[in-house]
Structures are given as C-alpha cells and as structure tokens.
C-alpha cells in the first residue's frame, strides 16, 4: 500500500517552510502527502509580515475528511499559533487514533518572528506533547519548554529528560544552534540516549530545516521504519538538503528537498 503522511501546519508563501516544505519532503521520500492548513502566512526569506489563523473547526475538518477517506499512516504538526487550534488538532489526533504523531513545536520563524503565542505554550504542553510519539525541538524551543539555558551536551541531555517527563514517547533535541563543527542531535526515549552526528554547513540558506527534518521522520514512519531508524534516516536526508541548499531571496534561503535526484544550478 502507498504510504500516506499528513502535515498539519501553516502555509509559507515563500515555499521554504511549513506545508510547502513538508509536502516536498513527503514527495522526495516516496510518500503520498496530505495537508491540513492551520494558518496562512505572508512570508519570504526575510521575514513573516502577516498571519491569518484559520478557524479551529476548519482545521479539525481538514484532518477529519482526510483520515476518514484516504487514511493516515503518520502525521506531523508544525505551526499551531493559538490555543483553540491546538485543542482542535489534539481532538482529531485522539479521535482518529493518529498514533505515529511527530510534534515539531514551532515557536519562531528562521527570521525570528513569533509563530506561537506565549499564551498558547501551556496548551501545547498540556494537550499535544502527551500525544506525541516524538517531539523535535531546536535549542531555543527546548529552552522555552524547559526554562533553562542550553549551552552544551550535558544541558541537552537534561533538557531531553525534562521534555520527556511532559508525557511524550521520545525526544529529538536538535543541536544546530550550538554552532560547533560537528552538529549533534540527541535522541532520548526514556531508556537511554542516542547521539546523531552531522557536519556543520556554513550557509545562511537554512529556512525550513525544522519543518523538513520532522516531515522526513514522518515520511519514514509512514513507510514502516522504527522510530529510531526514522530519525537516523531523516538526519541523513536533512544533511544533504542543507548541503545542497538554494541561494534564493535576500534572507535565509530554502533547502533543496530534491537533492537525492538533482541539484539546481547555482
């Protein structure tokens, strides 16, 4: 059967992040992609200029009709900007038993613009984290969730344990913001740590890295891989997407989601 993956996230008019990045990733990795749009952003490589949140019932209904008709092997969330949308998504995940659920706790765009209202953070923690098979925060997001600064590997391990205690089944804490020559992501599932190493790529074209990584994990879960194998394979995919990133726009350019097949001329 064709593997099926659903992204529940915001739309990026610049095409580098959000559902656009997710659907590109699903396609590149051989998965049939579906989407439930939560917000429409007026966005490019420089910043986010306007955000229009969709009604929570519309968000829920997008998930419902897809789950009832096509079916969902794995799903992920990205931008969920308010408490009402978070609750609608949590309701759908429980109602349609979407157990392979990857939570990307999107809080800010690459440009630094806020995408999750401060008042909604508690809803994310209470409503969605306990449902997640895995949560994929970066360093700033983990600091928001944990309430302490993360400076190195020991802090990352401590943060993983703290986030795991919120009820998810596993955590992947991404280490790219620490800016070492070797980028280390930390995986924790309550039993032990796995350290996923990658090469630091000196580029400003990193728009959509978090979206792409979480959607790659979702893709491999939809194809039947174990969680840890899905994370490892997603790490390999995102490394190549960054190394082959595209110098487009005046700010943080996008990744090349189709790097396994071809590279665009620079």
The answer to whether position 249 is within a domain reads no
The answer to whether position 265 is within a domain reads no
Read off the pLDDT of each residue in 72-95 and give the average, rounded to a whole number: 97
Residue 110 to residue 17: CA distance in whole angstroms: 9
Percent above pLDDT 90 for the chain: 82
pLDDT, residue 110, reads 57
What's phi and psi for 237, nearest 5 deg?
-65, -45
The answer to whether position 253 is within a domain reads no
Which residues are bridge partners to 114 per DSSP? 108
Is residue 68 predicted with pLDDT exceeding 90? Answer: yes
- Return mean pLDDT, the chain: 93
The answer to whether position 163 is within a domain reads yes
Is residue 116 predicted with pLDDT exceeding 60? Answer: yes
Tokens of 185: 């992501």
Is residue 225 predicted with pLDDT exceeding 60? Answer: yes
Better-scored residue on pLDDT, 126 or 111: 126
Is residue 265 predicted with pLDDT exceeding 60? Answer: no
Q: Which of 31-35, 113-117, 207-211, 242-246 has the lowest mean pLDDT?
A: 113-117
Give pLDDT tens digits for 32-58: 999 999 999 999 999 999 999 999 999
| Structural domains of the chain, count | 1
Beta strands at 32-43 and 48-53: parallel, antiparallel or unpaired: antiparallel
pTM over 0.75? The answer is yes
Residues annotated catalytic, as ranges: 174, 206, 208-211
Whichever domain contains 87, its CATH number is 3.40.1190.20
Give pLDDT tens digits for 149-204: 999 999 999 999 999 999 999 999 998 767 667 889 999 999 999 999 988 888 99
Residue 31 to residue 23: CA distance in whole angstroms: 9
Domain of residue 131 covers: 4-243
Residues for the chain: how many in total? 266
Residue 96 to residue 67: CA distance in whole angstroms: 7
Range 103-134 burial, b when 16+ CB lie within 10 A, else e? bbbbbbbbeeeebbeeebbebbbebbbebbbb
The answer to whether position 261 is within a domain reads no
Q: Exposure of 147 by Cβ count < 10 A (0-12 exposed, 13-18 middle, 19+ buried)?
A: exposed
């Amino acid at each position: 059967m064709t593997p099926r993956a659903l992204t529940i996230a915001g739309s990026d008019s610049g095409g580098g992040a959000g559902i656009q990045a997710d659907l590109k990733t699903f396609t590149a990795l051989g998965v049939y992609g579906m989407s439930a749009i939560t917000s429409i952003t007026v966005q490019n490589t420089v910043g986010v200029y306007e955000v229009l949140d969709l009604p929570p019932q519309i968000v829920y209904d997008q998930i419902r009709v897809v789950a009832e008709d096509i079916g969902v092997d794995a799903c992920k969330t990205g931008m969920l900007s308010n408490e009402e949308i978070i609750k609608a998504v949590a309701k759908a995940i429980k109602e349609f038993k979407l157990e392979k659920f990857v939570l990307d706790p999107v809080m800010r765009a690459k440009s630094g613009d806020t995408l999750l209202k401060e008042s909604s953070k508690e809803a994310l923690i209470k409503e969605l984290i306990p449902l997640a098979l895995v949560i994929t925060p970066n360093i700033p997001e983990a600091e928001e969730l944990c309430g302490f600064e993360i400076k190195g590997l020991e802090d990352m391990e401590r943060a993983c344990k703290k986030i795991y205690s919120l009820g998810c089944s596993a955590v992947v804490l991404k280490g790219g913001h620490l800016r070492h020559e070797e980028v280390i992501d930390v995986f924790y599932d309550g039993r032990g740590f796995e350290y996923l190493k990658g090469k630091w790529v000196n580029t400003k074209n990193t728009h959509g890295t978090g979206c792409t990584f979480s959607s790659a994990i979702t893709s491999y879960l939809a194809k039947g891989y174990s969680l840890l194998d899905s994370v490892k394979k997603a790490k390999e995919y995102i490394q190549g997407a960054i190394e082959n990133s595209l110098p487009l726009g005046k700010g943080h350019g996008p990744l090349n989601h189709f790097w396994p097949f071809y590279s665009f001329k620079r």
